[in-house]
Amino acid sequence: MFDLVIKDAEIYDGAGNAPVRGDLGVTNGKIEAVGGKVGAAKSTVKADGLALAPGIIDGHTHYDAQITWDPFVDPSPALGVTTAVMGNCGFTIAPCKPADRDLTMRHLTHVEGMSLDALRAGIRWGFESFPQYLDMLQGQGVGPNVACFAGHSAIRTFVMGAEATERTATDEEISQMTAQVREAMAAGAVGFASSTAEAHNGEGGTPMPSRLADDRELRALVKAMAESGSGVYMLTKGSKTSIPYLEELAVEAKRPVVIAALFHSNTNPTAAFKTLDQVNAARARGHQLVAQTSCCPLSMDFTFKSPYLFESMQSWKPAMAAHGEEALKKVYRDPSWRDAVRRELEAARGRMVFNGEWDKLFVVETAKAENQAMEGSTLAELAKKAGKEPLDFILDFALSENLDTAFVAQLLHNDEKAVGRILADPNTHISLSDAGAHLTFFCDAGFGLHLMGHWSRELGVLDLPQAVHRLTGQPAKLFGIGNRGFLREGYAADLMLFDPKTVARGAKRRAHDLPAGAARLTTSAVGLHGVWINGTRVTDHKGFCADKTARPGAVLRRFAS
Q: Which has the higher per-residue pLDDT, 561 or 457?
A: 457
In this structure, the answer to whether residues 536 and 430 fall within a common structural domain is yes
> What is residue 298's predicted lDDT score, i.e. its pLDDT?
86
CB 518 within 8 A of CB 110: no
Domain membership of residue 341 (yes or no) is yes
> What is residue 292's predicted lDDT score, i.e. its pLDDT?
98
Domain membership of residue 460 (yes or no) is yes
263-277, 339-353, 530-544: which range is least confident on average? Answer: 339-353
- Final residue belonging to a domain, choices 347, 381, 412: 412
Domain membership of residue 507 (yes or no) is yes
In this structure, the answer to whether residues 262 and 293 fall within a common structural domain is yes
> What is residue 354's predicted lDDT score, i.e. its pLDDT?
86
Q: What is the pLDDT of residues 20-41, one digit of tens each?
A: 999 999 999 999 999 999 989 9
In this structure, the answer to whether residues 290 and 312 fall within a common structural domain is no
Strand order in the sheet with 191-195: 56-58, 81-86, 145-151, 191-195, 232-236, 257-262, 289-293, 429-430
In this structure, the answer to whether residues 398 and 451 fall within a common structural domain is no
Domain membership of residue 49 (yes or no) is no
φ/ψ of residue 259, rounded to 5: -115, 120
Structural domain count of the chain: 2
Per the structure, the complete domain to which residue 206 belongs is given by 54-297+413-544
pLDDT surpassing 90 at residue 299: no
pLDDT surpassing 90 at residue 112: no
Q: Can you give the C-alpha Rg of the chain in angstroms?
A: 23
Q: Residue 172: exposed, middle, or buried by beta-carbon count in 10 A (0-12, 13-18, 19+)?
A: exposed
In this structure, the answer to whether residues 199 and 128 fall within a common structural domain is yes
Rounded mean pLDDT, 74-78: 97
Task: Please report which confidence band the pLDDT of residue 117 belongs to, taking 50, 70 and 90 as the band edges.
Answer: very high
DSSP assignments along 394-448, one per residue: HHHHHHHTTT--EEEEEEES--HHHHHHHHHSTTSEE----BTSSTTT---TTHH
Q: What is the pLDDT of the chain when averaged over all its residues?
A: 95
In this structure, the answer to whether residues 136 and 152 fall within a common structural domain is yes
How many H helices and E strands in the chain?
18, 24
Task: Please report which confidence band the pLDDT of residue 518 belongs to, taking 50, 70 and 90 as the band edges.
Answer: confident
Residue 556 CB partners (closer than 8 Å, separation 6+): 83, 145, 146, 147, 188, 190, 481
Rounded mean pLDDT, 185-197: 98
Domain membership of residue 553 (yes or no) is no
> What is residue 105's predicted lDDT score, i.e. its pLDDT?
95
387-391, 404-408, 461-465: which range is least confident on average? Answer: 404-408
In this structure, the answer to whether residues 179 and 277 fall within a common structural domain is yes
In this structure, the answer to whether residues 217 and 74 fall within a common structural domain is yes
Q: Residue 359 carries which side chain, given as an amino acid letter?
A: D
In this structure, the answer to whether residues 364 and 433 fall within a common structural domain is no
In this structure, the answer to whether residues 372 and 245 fall within a common structural domain is no
Crossing angle of helices 171-187 and 215-226, rounded to 10° = 30
Rounded mean pLDDT, 525-554: 97
pLDDT surpassing 90 at residue 308: no
pLDDT surpassing 80 at residue 505: yes
Domain membership of residue 320 (yes or no) is yes
pLDDT surpassing 90 at residue 520: no
In this structure, the answer to whether residues 316 and 404 fall within a common structural domain is yes
Domain membership of residue 38 (yes or no) is no
> What is residue 25's predicted lDDT score, i.e. its pLDDT?
98
Q: What gap in Å lies between CA 494 and CA 320, rounded to an integer?
A: 43
Q: What is the pLDDT of residues 405-450, one digit of tens each?
A: 999 888 889 899 999 999 999 999 999 999 998 776 788 999 999 9
> What is residue 400's predicted lDDT score, i.e. its pLDDT?
97
Rounded mean pLDDT, 154-164: 97
Domain membership of residue 10 (yes or no) is no
pLDDT surpassing 80 at residue 508: yes
Task: Please report which confidence band the pLDDT of residue 6 belongs to, taking 50, 70 and 90 as the band edges.
Answer: very high
- Final residue belonging to a domain, choices 345, 380, 412: 412
Q: What gap in Å lies between CA 552 and CA 288, rounded to an integer?
A: 33
In this structure, the answer to whether residues 252 and 153 fall within a common structural domain is yes
The H or E element containing residue 43 is strand 41-46
Q: What is the CATH number of the domain that holds 241?
A: 3.20.20.140
> What is residue 191's predicted lDDT score, i.e. its pLDDT?
98
Strands 429-430 and 525-526: unpaired
Q: What is the pLDDT of residues 472-502, one digit of tens each?
A: 999 999 999 999 999 999 999 999 999 999 9
- Final residue belonging to a domain, choices 412, 442, 475: 412
Q: What is the pLDDT of residues 310-365, one digit of tens each?
A: 988 899 999 999 989 999 999 999 999 999 999 999 887 767 778 888 998 999 88
